[in-house]
Amino acid sequence: MGVTKRLLVGTFLVGATLLQADMASLYKAEEATVLRADQVSREEHFDLITARGNVEIIHGNEVLLADLVTYNESAGTVTATGNVRFKSKDGDVIFANYLEVTSDFKEGVSRHIRMIMRDGAKLAAKDAKREGGVRSAFDMAVYSPCEVCRTKPDKAPLWQIEAKRTLLDDESQDVIYTDAVMRMWDVPVMYLPYFRHPAPHAGRRSGLLAPTFASSSGSSGSFVALPYYWVINDQRDMTITPMYADTRPALGLSYRERFARGFLRLAGSGLFGADKKKSAVSDSDKALEKSFRGHIVGSMQFHLNPYWRVGAQIERASDQTYLRRLPYFGFEKSTNLVSRIYAEYFNRLDYFSIEGYTFQGLRDGDRNATTPLLLPMVEYSALTRPGKWGEVWTLDASALGLTRREGTDMGRMSATGGVYMPYYSSFGEVYTFGARVRGDVYHARHLTTSMLSQSTTSGTTGRFFPQGYAHWRLPLVDFGSKFNTLLEPRVGLFVAPNTAQGDKVPNEDSRFPEFNTYNLFSSSRFAGLDRLDTGSRMVYGLGGQTSALGDNAQIDAFMGQSVGLSEPRDFLRYTGLDHRWSHYVGRLSGSYQDWLTLETRLLMNRVHLRPERHEFLASLGKPILRLNADYMKLPVFEEGVDGYARRKQLTLGLSSQLTPQWSVDVSSTRQLGSPSFSLAHGAGVKYQDECFGVQARVERTFYKDRDVKPGLTVLLLVTFKNLGEIKHELNPRSSSGTTPF
């Protein structure tokens, strides 16, 4: 029976006729409700309103679709049958044969329900009941976050949990199972009398994370870690990781806290009890007999205002080989640990910092007694705005205090003032003229003046160093139909006295100069301040870039040389600057689409045209088969080093993305020269889909470092989506951001 009647609240669309219906008792007045249907009828005696055909009810952010919907005004219930689909305000979608809910959608029952949660997880149950708008109980339910096979929809997912009763609690944001079984590939693998995991809409949640299993035949033996993630509140969390490592019980802890203007992050581990199976036959094995071995890392940073920030970083281990024996914390390739405290000031045209550094060497022979402590380390840098002729004035000042328990102590104050001015010609040439004046004051104690006699001296000394320079470059650009090309010749001239360094000036920060394309045109080619780049010189180079339009291909290359106008100093031997005409420095990088990338830097002998230093990185191939190469050849810095035999290393890797889920890789690292031998081999296999991941890796090492022995290491990591997972790093150096979460 069709009815057309004016009502207070609610909008009905019956065919093409707009009806107003009295639905105030059905929905709250403050929430608009829209109902669309092919036909709407009302039975006055039974207080029933019935909508038939393509029924759609929209109430706030909730949508109900069905073939037939009946509203009982007396009972305040809505009953839907036939192709029932209900979308909740949280984004979950429910499919059912029958659905009965109260007018506010807070209570209800349904039969043969299927549910797609907001994160794509699926749940199916025989019966379901909604209670209080915050809990849903399911009987004979099956849950899985895995996708359903499109070609075989009846095929069981990769893994699923079947339970006699499942509770979805919106208040606690948990999914709780009772009397459940986990199946993988439709095979029962685990019985779970009681189990819970975070709901799809849950944020950070406390719970167990994916365990890690490993075994090493060389050093650390078996390794098992079972982390528990504890959410303390919205700003704090902690990860507690009981472990078994190096034949001992162990514990790992990680604490993170975020503040309105900063963050704090601390992590560490500890092994308890001595290794009774091994006795210390040498000094390098004594660490095994310690009753405690561990490490601590952390960082903190606070922004006091838009200009000032303060922070600290700590990295410390109980002994030098602990982090090498246990490579699971991300420091296995570190040669030193750095702790730092700092305060920094930023402004538009100046910068100020005061810092303190302490180090812990991890290489054989490093001693804490001779490792320096830097406190304070003060730096200030400022420049002016361009003047009338475009000139810019600069000032760089620093102060350093360096102490050791054994060895040289040093205090240094340095200031450099300068001015530079660019000039652009009508032909497109770019000139830069500048001058710098630097003054240093040193005070040293126990400074070694002769390595043969081991004689030392103490005292105060100073030095004054002026320098003038001029640069010229001409960018030549060609915009073609297929290629864009940039060719840029460059010439530089530096004029300065060829003064001696001074016997009373220690060298702490310029011991290993590296001559390359990036410092070829720099006023000083040393990383630190203790060595002066004295003497006059001319430098020249040629750089070029080209890119192919439409092919996503590009090449960037540069090569140059330095020509000294005075004899080079003795400390420049083996750096490429030990003759007036230096070795050539060059770099080359390129890429083609997504299957070729390469980058190389080299120091080429000017006479024999052979690389004295060479670094090469390349990647070739598509994801189905990709080859990676990493080659490094380091020069000899001082006499007495056995040629190049111990300074060349090659790493080759081959990877393949066999399917969207499966990938494999192999790698090998080898020391080249004479002798030549393998350092490590590795292989891994990884499976990762939308709901499950497993990663296994095997690595064979051949090197020995005190109590770190050659051996075979096997690592296994398994993750199940929604059953507890979080990306967590114990190495602060590996974090790309400045905040912990």
Kindly report the CATH number assigned to the domain that includes residue 42.
Answer: 2.60.450.10
Is the confidence at residue 601, as pLDDT, over 60?
Answer: yes
Q: Which segments of 523-654 does DSSP mark as H helices, in order?
A: none
- For residues 127 and 196, membership in a common domain is answered with yes
Answer yes or no: do 82 and 9 share one domain: yes
Q: Give the mean pLDDT of 525-552.
A: 90
CB 600 within 8 A of CB 588: yes
So what's the pLDDT on residue 16?
A: 27
Is 327 in a helix, a strand, or coil? helix
What is the b/e burial string over 336-371, where b = at least 16 CB atoms within 10 angstroms of the residue's CB?
ebebbbbbbeeeeeeebbbbbbbbbebeeeeeeeeb
HSE (side-chain half, CA atoms, 13 Å) at 579: 9
Cβ neighbours, 10 Å, residue 438: 20
Give the residue, 687 or 329, on which the prediction is more confident.
Answer: 687
Q: What is the pTM of this model?
A: 0.78
User: Does one domain contain both 53 and 131?
Assistant: no
Provide the pLDDT confidence category of residue 496 given band limits of 50, 70 and 90: very high
pLDDT at 416 exceeding the cut of 60? yes
Using only C-alpha atoms, the chain has a radius of gyration, in whole angstroms, of 36
- Average pLDDT over the chain reads 84
157 located within any domain: yes
Query: What pLDDT sits at residue 549?
Result: 76
User: pLDDT confidence of 31, banded at 50, 70, 90?
Assistant: low
Phi/psi for 571 (5° steps) reads: -70, -5
Q: What pLDDT sits at residue 632?
A: 92
Distances (CA, A) of 145 to 142, 159, 189: 10, 8, 17
Mean pLDDT for 590-615 is 92
On whether residue 325 sits in a domain, the answer given is no
Looking at residue 725, its pLDDT comes to 52
List, for residues 78-92, the tens digit of each pLDDT value.
Answer: 889 988 998 887 788
101 shares its domain with 2 = yes
pLDDT band at 711 (very low <50, low <70, confident <90, very high): confident
Domain assignment present for 148 = yes
Give the per-residue pLDDT at 703: 78
Q: Which has more confidence, 478 or 570?
A: 478
pLDDT tens readout for residues 638-687? 444 444 344 789 999 999 999 999 999 999 999 887 778 888 999 999 99
Q: Does residue 167 have a pLDDT over 60?
A: yes
> Percent of the chain having pLDDT more than 90?
44
Residue 672 confidence (pLDDT): 87
The whole-angstrom separation of Cα 663 and Cα 685 is: 6
- Residues 64, 147: one domain? no
- What is the total count of domains within the chain? 2
The pLDDT of residue 573: 80
Model pLDDT, residue 439: 96
Q: Note the pLDDT of residue 44.
A: 76
Are 144 and 193 in the same domain? yes
Residue 53 covered by a domain: yes
Give the 3-state secondary structure of residue 110.
strand
Residue 164 pLDDT > 50: yes
Peptide bond into 376 cis (omega under 30): yes
Residue 274: is its pLDDT beyond 70? no
- Label residue 513 by pLDDT band (50, 70, 90): confident
Q: Which pLDDT score is estimated for 499?
A: 87
CA 567 – CA 582 distance, rounded (Å) = 11
Quick check: is 479 in a domain? Answer: no
Name which residue leads in pLDDT, 116 or 284. Answer: 116
pLDDT, residue 218, reads 67
Which has more confidence, 21 or 512? 512
Which of the listed residues 56, 72, 105 is the one where a domain comes to its end? 105
Asked whether 553 and 485 are in contact (CB, 8 A), the reply is no
Q: Looking at 179, 203, 227, which one is the last position of a domain? A: 203
Pairwise CA distance, residues 3 & 122, whole Å:
41
* 705 belongs to a structural domain: no
Answer yes or no: is pLDDT of 729 > 70: no
Residues 73 and 1 in one domain: yes
pLDDT band at 689; cut points 50, 70, 90: confident
- 520, 722, 514: which is closest to 613 by C-alpha? 514
How many CB atoms lie under 10 A from the CB of residue 558? Answer: 20
What are the residues facing 317 on neighbouring strands? 295
Residue 31 lies in a domain: yes
Cis peptide before 675 (omega within 30 of 0): yes
Q: Are residues 69 and 39 in the same domain?
A: yes
In a shared domain, residues 138 and 77: no
Per-residue model confidence (pLDDT) at position 394? 97
Which of 65, 81, 105 is the last residue in one of the domains? Answer: 105
Mean pLDDT over 386-412 rounds to 94
**Helix %, strand %, coil % of the chain (to 5):** 5, 60, 40
In this prediction, residue 727 carries a pLDDT of 40
Q: Residue 284: phi, psi to the nearest 5?
A: -70, -20
Phi, psi of 419 (to 5 degrees): -150, 145
Structural domain span for residue 38: 1-105
Stretch 384-411: mean pLDDT, rounded? 94
Task: Let me know whether 95 and 125 are in one domain.
Answer: no
In the block, tokens 């420095």 appear at 585
Neighbours of 533 (CB within 10 A): 20
Residues 86 and 154 in one domain: no
182 located within any domain: yes
Q: Are residues 83 and 142 in the same domain?
A: no
Say what the pLDDT of residue 636 is.
57
